[in-house]
Amino acid sequence: MSDTTPGSAAGLRALIVIDVQNDFCPGGALAVADGDAVVPVANELLSDADAFDVRVLTQDWHPPDHLSFAVNNPGHEPYEVIEVSYGPQVLWPPHCVQGSDGAAFHPDLATDRADMIVRKGFRPAVDSYSAFFENDQTTPTGLDGYLRARGVESLTMVGLATDFCVRYSAVGGAGLGYDVTVALDGCRAIDLDGSLDGALAEMASAGVNVTG
């Protein structure tokens, strides 16, 4: 039996397109500046059959009573940081609410080319930036198991936002033993109080390859 765990010679290549959803694009509830510019880059990568063996989309999928929404924390405002059971948590405007138009993928994203969609952040009491783990850093999304079963060893990531969900996904993937590349031309950042510089430094420290 061949070794198909990440890092093996038999490993395949996966593209992970992170949270390219209406609420993170211009006009959305938590819009990232120029966020829709990632769509053509993502589509080009999704259509490149020679570059990737596996294609995955992630999707924020929050219930209305989600812990991370400022409106569910009386006395607090959006973008404040509070302490919760698993550590610091940024409070956000309500976004990507399950079943809403804001939670839908950008209409121009080539979703039909994906092999799998991973929904995250659906547990009311814990946020989920990473494609691999909820923010408690222990609850898995199931993506790692899927990639291992497919024999994936290397990951390329694009999407929104560079300094939050892309960052945590990249660092989480590297920690699990994958060879991770973040293509910055297919990402855009929120850059909340210097969070982009922090994200780039953390990804570099984790061994993530950052290009573009």
3-class DSSP state for residue 57?
Answer: strand
User: Residue 56's closest CA among 98, 7, 103, 119?
Assistant: 119
Question: In this structure, what token pair is assigned to residue 72?
Answer: 């569910």
Residue 105 sits at φ, ψ, to 5 deg, of -65, 155
Instruction: Please tell me the distance from the alpha carbon of residue 172 to that of residue 206, in angstroms, as a whole number.
Output: 9
Which residues are known to be catalytic?
19, 120, 165
Torsion of CA 124, 129, 134, 137, to 10 degrees: -140
